[in-house]
Chain A
Amino acid sequence: MTSSTSDHVEIRTGVYADSVTLLQVSRRIQELPGVNAAQVAMATPLNVEVLERMRFVIPADATVNHLVVAIRLDGDGDLDVVRAEVDRALTERRGQASGPTEDAPPRTTTAALRREPGSLVLVSVPGPSAAVEAMDALESGSDVMVFSDNVPVEQEVALKRYAAGRDLLVMGPDCGTAVVGGLGLGFANVVPPGPVGIVAASGTGCQQVLALLDHGGVGVTTAYGVGGRDLSAEVGGLATRTALARLDADPGVELAVLISKPPADEVAGELTAYTGSLGTPVLLALLGAGRPDLTAATEDLLRALGRDVPTWPVRGETRTATGTRLHGLFVGGTMKQEAAVLVTAAGVPPERAELIDFGDDEYTIGRAHPMIDPSLRLERLAEVAADETTGVVLMDVVLGHGAEEDPAASLAPAIDGIRPPVVITVVGTAHDPQGLDRQVDALVAAGAEVHLSNAHATRRALEILGGSR
């Protein structure tokens, strides 16, 4: 060592690197021009001994958690350059690993839940495989929403029996919509939290009520879907019970509503007894002949909460009818059913009304749901528009997460200028990603009359049809 060397010892905190890395860093620094000696090491007793043998002076308070950077420069060495190189060498080492050792994505629901225990599971694989993934969720202690359809009913029963004793919920199969703690699953509208809890056997029925409540200024924190068969004799309302019990136990739920087709006779009595036993009032919105439609049920709900019933919005004005047939082209199954009940009640003979649910199984084989892919309905629309006998076209547009990004973009041009009058229900809320106002504006501009209430839209279509008689 020459007499012209100078020592620089610095202690860094909050830095850690393994010894092999540090040896490599040290070697790299030692090789820099102007460096006489250098050592970068954690201040373990052993390393301090080594450093002191190199005649560096190490502060007495250095501990194993400190990184020591000890540099001895020759007379011509540049400390700034050397320190910059230390910084570079230390940071370069980090984040170099991983890459090929990264976890591959999980291949089963079980594997995913091992990594993220407690997650809610959303199953939308093909029907024959859905129960297997759903069972993974239940075995791992997670609730599951089964969006998939074509799941055999005995599999549904087996899943729901397993869940029932374990405080777990199976939403579905064929569950299109749920809101869990404000998070929308499947086709779901953006709704504020609020005092109403929903249990729905029908996805679009649930969405209609969410949209109407949103307009009425009432939020929904929880809307459980249970699947269309839950209140059948086979399933016996297993999920409905769990869902209602959870709402009942939640102090934030003031009022619960059950949206479904009328339950099977075997289930109806039991269900009434069960809802009667709960502390939270349960309003039944059961769709069928002679029963209140969803809009009327929602009005009852608002009154029960002590809220004012708003005027349901209607925008636009449509043409007068010339033909005599009503064509209902729906993407929502419940929208169609509700319309069918009203059409029948109005005494329109079957040959003068054709109502199609494009979300029905026969239209979705090998293609996406019409809320995602509108092409099939647009084809039919063109046909009925050209048909002289068409008196009025009744349609629904369902907004929310999961649905088409901009349904009006394809629907508005398709109705613009056609001969028959068009009445459309736009089921959506103010915060839906498609923009409720934007969608309504576009459809109104194309000549449609746009409602928020499907029941009102249907009655209006019947009225238009009646006017042509």
Chain B
Amino acid sequence: MTSPASEHVADRVVSVGADLLAQAVEDQAAPVSRVDWRPPLPGTEDDLATVALDPLRPDANAQALARMLAVQAVLVDVLPAHEAIGLERGEFLHAGPPITWEDASGPLRGALMGGAVLEGLVDTPEEAVALLEGGLHVRLEPCHHRRAVGPMAGVVTPSMWMFVLEDPATGARTHCTLNEGLGKVLRYGAYSPEVLTRLHWMNDVLGPLLQRAVRASEPVDVTAILGQMLQMGDEAHNRNRAGTLMFLRDLGPALVESGGDISDVAEALRFVGGNDHFFLNLAMPACKLALDAARDVPGSTMVVAMSRNGTDFGIQVSGAGDEWFTGPAQVADGLYLGDFGPEDANPDIGDSAITETAGLGGFAMATAPAIVRFVGGSVPDALATTRRMQEITLGENPRWSVPVLEFAGVPSGIDVTKVCRTGILPQINTGMAGRVAGVGQVGAGLVNPPEEIFPQALTRLAELTRARAR
């Protein structure tokens, strides 16, 4: 049924293109909003038009976004990796898209070496190099391929304990290791004896204690805590302070009643409470659980993973299956610890950009003014960043809102086409690892994906669109 022309009167015009035509509307005393249009990334016009006009796309994107927003992530268990995801002796998971030892960066190598010692595959990190170079008895695989995510190097070995998150509605699960704290830690590529001692304590004491507490208490609703964190100044990537304390609040009584040695319990409480990043390893699998639900919707241009292995930056897109689109990882721009400088920093590394993919981290920067200086920015920059991310996303997440932006939901669902159209790249808050194996963290800052991976993904989406049309 067509409605009359009188119901389609234009009392306001959006003008994109020639300013002369916008001016002509203004000269008629009618309000005009001008789009600050600029040409898309070079060479993308045809693919953009093809994908824009794909009849599947609008509904596919709506569906992908809705699926992502519907997921509730609940902490249901804590298990060693071999139990949680069936990781076998000699198998190593790592952050980012697939990579070989030859191409691996310093921090990833360092973490793999430490992991080999932790698993008793070798006695010293130095021996691990030969083992990993040979590659005969080891296998490297991305965390993302095993329903897991790992911060920084993201190395997971069979004995490491992992959080198990589940969506009660579907039973889908994701996993992440326990956070080791800051400074010299395995995920930043450090493998010194203190690092390994801590990892052993986490395997022997912390993991089992958390397992008993989690199993004994009400399931911890990680998605809900994320919503509260955003009201409390956390963006859930580089600031997880409020989240960590809420996690302690929720699990503390059960930890105390877990029957563990009282000094172990005290040490666990001290360790978790003293590590502002502890909750990051819950935020990340919660984000992955949400984004995994948005995978494999034909026609959808929504990014479902952004991830780095220290060498390459990769993205996966809902409508393009499990294919990775990769380019060289960039070095973050930010502040350095002590006398470290840019020459000490490794290119971007870690699965933690899953938080940005889900609308947190850099996308939620406006809600975390406390850390804007830490990543080298100002409060107005932070507000502008979140607003800028609205340009490249499909919608907002009503569960995760930003008070200072009138409780707007965080920008959610990165749209490959919008990135190519605007040239606006996703903004990621990140820690920086030292480029040499064993050094650990050297700073923190802001980083973007390499621009070319978005046109790559777009080209693939356009190919699929054309194939469907035939």
Contact = CB atoms under 8 A, between A and B. Distances in A.
Interface string A89-126: 00000000001110111111111111110111111111
A346 to B, nearest CB: 37
B31 to A, nearest CB: 8
Contacts of A236: none
A251 to B, nearest CB: 7
Interface stretch (A80-88, A133-141, A422-430, A460-468): A133-141
Nearest to B12: A119
Contacts of A120: 8, 10, 12-14
A167 interface: yes
A449 interface: no
A402 interface: yes
Contacts of A155: 49, 53
A402 B21 contact: yes
A432 B120 CA distance: 86
Contacts of B39: 126, 129
A122 B49 contact: no
B130 interface: no
Contacts of A123: 16-17
B33 A108 contact: no
A195 B417 CA distance: 43
A160 to B, nearest CB: 11
Nearest to A127: B45
A181 B11 CA distance: 8
B24 A188 contact: yes
A22 B25 CA distance: 44
A250 B6 contact: yes
Interface stretch (A5-13, A240-248, A409-417): A240-248
A360 B53 CA distance: 27
Q: Please report whether the interface of chain B is mostly helix, strand, loop or mixed according to DSSP.
A: mixed
Interface in B34-48: 34-40, 45-46, 48
A255 to B, nearest CB: 13
A27 to B, nearest CB: 23
A107 B35 CA distance: 5
A128 B41 CA distance: 13
A121 B5 CA distance: 16
B48 A129 contact: yes
Contact of A124 (B9, B11, B18): B18
A106 B422 CA distance: 10
Contact of A122 (B14, B27, B48, B390): B14
B24 A184 contact: yes
15 contacts: A100-B380, A103-B387, A105-B34, A108-B421, A119-B13, A120-B14, A122-B15, A128-B49, A133-B17, A139-B58, A158-B53, A158-B55, A180-B8, A252-B5, A252-B6
Interface of B: 1-6, 8-18, 20-22, 24-25, 27-28, 30, 33-40, 45-46, 48-49, 52-53, 55, 58, 378, 380, 383-384, 387-388, 390-391, 417-418, 421-422, 424
